[in-house]
Chain A
Amino acid sequence: MAWILAILQTLLFIGGAPLLAGWIKMLKCWLQNRNAPSLLQPYRDLRKLWRKESILPESASWIFTAAPYLVFTVAVLTAAVVPLVAVDLPSARIIDVFGLVGFFALARTFLVLAGMDIGTAFGGMGSSREMTISSLAEPAMLMVVFTLAMSAGTTNLSMGMDYVLDSGLVLRPSFVFALGSLMLVAVAETGRVPVDNPATHLELTMIHEAMILEYSGRYLALMEWASQIKLMLYGVLIANIFFPWYIGRDFSPAALGQGLLAIMLKLALLSVLLALSETLLAKMRIFRVQEYLSFAYLLGVLGMLSHIILEVYYA
Chain B
Amino acid sequence: MTMGTDSTVKNLVEALRPLQSIGQSEVTRVQSVVDLLQLTIASAAWGDAARIAKSHGARWAGVWADEHVDSFTVSACLEYRERYLLLRASVSGQEPELPSHAPFYQAADRAERHVQDLFGIRFTGHPMGTQRWTRHQAWDEGTFPLRKSFPLQGFMRDTTPSDRDYPFLKASGASVYEIPVGPVHAGIIEPGHFRFQAVGETVLNLEERFGYVHKGIEKIAQGRGPEGLAKLAGRVSGDTTVGHTWAACLAMEAAAGVECPARATYIRGILAERERVINHLGDMGAMCNDVGFAFGHYQFGRLRELWLRENQALFGHRLLMDCVVPGGVKSGLTPEGANGIRRTVRDLRGEVSELITVIDANSSLEDRFLATGVLTVGQAQALGALGFVGRASGQGFDVRKAPAYRPYNELAVIVPVETQGDVASRFWLRYKELRIALRLLEQMLAQLPEGELQADWQTPRTDTEGFAAVEGWRGEILCFVRFAADNRIGRYFPRDPSQINWPAVEKIQTNNIVPDFPICNKSVNASYSGQDL
B518 within 8 A of A: yes
B67 contacts A by Cβ under 8 Å: no
In the complex, what distance in Å separates the CA atom of A286 from the CA atom of B203? 14
- Tell me if B299 and A33 are in contact (CB < 8 A): yes
Contacts of B518 in A (CB 8 A): 202, 204-205
In chain B, residues 162-179, which have Cβ atoms closer than 8 Å to a Cβ of chain A? 177-179
Provide the bound-state CA to CA distance between A31 and B372, in Å. Answer: 28
Once the chains are docked, how many angstroms separate the CA of A283 from the CA of B513?
14
Interface residues of A in 179-227 (CB under 8 A from B): 193-194, 197, 199-205, 213
Is B291 in the interface zone, CB < 8 Å from A? yes
Query: Size of chain A's interface in residues, with CB distance under 8 A?
Result: 31
Q: Flag whether B364 is at the interface (Cβ < 8 A).
A: yes
Closest residue on chain A to residue B365 by CB atoms? A282
Task: Chain B residues near A33: list those with CB within 8 A.
Answer: 298-299, 302
Which of A124, A202, A283 is within 8 Å of B187, CB to CB? A202
Assess the B293–A282 pair: CB atoms within 8 A: yes
- Are B365 and A203 in contact, CB atoms less than 8 angstroms apart? no
B288 at the interface (CB under 8 A from A): yes
Indicate whether A287 sits within 8 Å of B201 (C-beta atoms), given known contacts A33-B299, A121-B178, A204-B515.
yes
Q: Is B367 an interface residue (CB 8 A)?
A: yes
Is A51 an interface residue, CB under 8 A from the partner?
Answer: no
Identify which of A197, A204, A213, A288 contacts B292 (C-beta below 8 A).
A197
Interface residue B35 (Cβ < 8 Å from any Cβ of A): no
Partner of A204, one of B179, B293, B299: B179
User: A280 at the A/B interface (Cβ < 8 Å)?
Assistant: yes
In Å, the complex CA distance between A286 and B517 comes to 12
Partner of B364, one of A28, A122, A125, A194: A194
Most buried by A among B362, B515, B518: B515
- Closest residue of chain A to B513 (Cβ to Cβ) is A286
A284 in contact (CB, < 8 A) = yes
Residue with the greatest number of chain B CB neighbours at <10 A, chosen from A124, A204, A213, A278: A204
Within 8 A of B (CB), among A103-124: 121-122, 124
Shortest beta-carbon distance from B388 to chain A in Å: 21
Kindly state whether residue B398 has any CB partner on chain A within 8 Å: no
Min C-beta distance of A30 to chain B, whole Å: 12
Choose among B186, B298, B299, B367 the residue that contacts A201 (Cβ–Cβ < 8 A): B186
The distance in angstroms between the C-alpha atoms of A307 and B40, with both chains bound, is: 86
- Chain A residue at smallest Cβ distance from B516: A285
B residues at A contact (CB < 8 Å): 177-181, 185-187, 201, 288, 290-295, 298-299, 302, 362, 364-365, 367-368, 372, 513-518
Residues of A within 8 A of B (CB): 28, 31-34, 121-122, 124-125, 193-194, 197, 199-205, 213, 278-288
What are 10 residue pairs bridging A and B, where the CB atoms are less than 8 Å apart in the complex? Answer: A32-B294, A32-B299, A194-B364, A204-B517, A280-B364, A282-B288, A283-B368, A285-B372, A285-B515, A287-B513
